[in-house]
Structure 1
Amino acid sequence: MSDCLFRDLHIQHGDLVLDAGLNPTYLTERAVIAQDIVHAIIESGLANLLVSDRGTGVTADTQTRITLLVEDDLRIMPGTVKVEQVKAGQWWVFADTINFGPLSTAITTGTDGDNHG
């Protein structure tokens, strides 16, 4: 793991993820970027707007604001961010990283998204 560009503690549902020996687990590279994106969206309050919107017209604006927020991350390739609703109340962010290829991550409120490489 010492050769990794990015390494961070793994946070899930607001808690530190521990291994069988009760040691903290870590994420690397693309998974770190996905986790950082989810945290930025949640901390900005945009996740609450997106998930709570029930056809009030806020959705398109919120999707644009999330796209711009994610594109501000220097590890993300500009112009590759997509925010999509896969089903009612379930939103995903798709983007290409500069060094690690595509990533996708769920946007949820009150918890961290499921990070996928």
Structure 2
Amino acid sequence: MASDAHIDLLVEDYGLVIDAGQQPVLTRHRHSIGQDIKHAVLEAGLARALLGERSPTLRADVRTQIRILVEQDRRIVPGTAEVREEATDRYLLTATTYDYGHLEVTL
């Protein structure tokens, strides 16, 4: 059941988003979970490893590491995380949340 338990400050371009009243903007639900996951992947250094790796075999290994990291999040349905290369410098991470359904995050 969805609740307001998944609320976070909105972060874009490595900084807080501020509204016209100079207050931080909040993000909720699926977007909050996606933001948490993206930050976990970045903090683990896996996005940099993925983008910097030339070997297709080693890139596949990093994608597996990302899926494992994502599926450790208790809000994600195990076995649903996928990482797909959209361009040489952009990957799409998809997963299913228990409360909010399908989730997409660009790495």
TM-score interval, normalised by the smaller of the two chains:
over 0.9
Other-structure match for 1:49:
49
**Distance apart, 1:13 and its partner CA:** 1.2
- SS of the residue corresponding to residue 84 of structure 2 reads strand
Letter in 2 for 1:97: T
Correspondence list, 1:88-103, <5 A: 88-103=88-103
Please, which moves more after superposition, 12-21 or 38-47?
Answer: 12-21
Other-structure match for 2:67:
67
Letter in 1 for 2:38: V
Other-structure match for 1:104:
104
Instruction: Report the TM-score when normalising by structure 2.
Output: 0.93
State the structure with bigger RCO (CA 8 A, min sep 6), 1 or 2: 1
Correspondence list, 1:3-82, <5 A: 4-55=4-55, 57-82=57-82
**Distance apart, 1:21 and its partner CA:** 1.7
Q: Could you list the per-position Cα deviations for residues 90-115 of structure 1 after superposition, in whole angstroms to 9, with x for gaps in the alignment? A: 101000000100010011xxxxxxxx
Instruction: Report the TM-score when normalising by structure 1.
Output: 0.85
- SS of the residue corresponding to residue 37 of structure 2 reads helix
The 2-side partners of 1:52 and 1:27 are apart by 31
RMSD: 1.1
- SS of the residue corresponding to residue 22 of structure 2 reads coil
| Structure 1 consecutive aligned stretches of length 4 or more whose deviation exceeds 3 Å | none
**Distance apart, 1:86 and its partner CA:** 0.8
The 2-side partners of 1:96 and 1:106 are apart by 15
**Distance apart, 1:40 and its partner CA:** 0.3
Other-structure match for 1:114:
none
In the alignment, structure 1 segments of 5+ residues that lack a partner are: 108-117
* Aligned-residue identity in percent: 37
Letter in 2 for 1:16: L
In the alignment, structure 2 segments of 5+ residues that lack a partner are: none
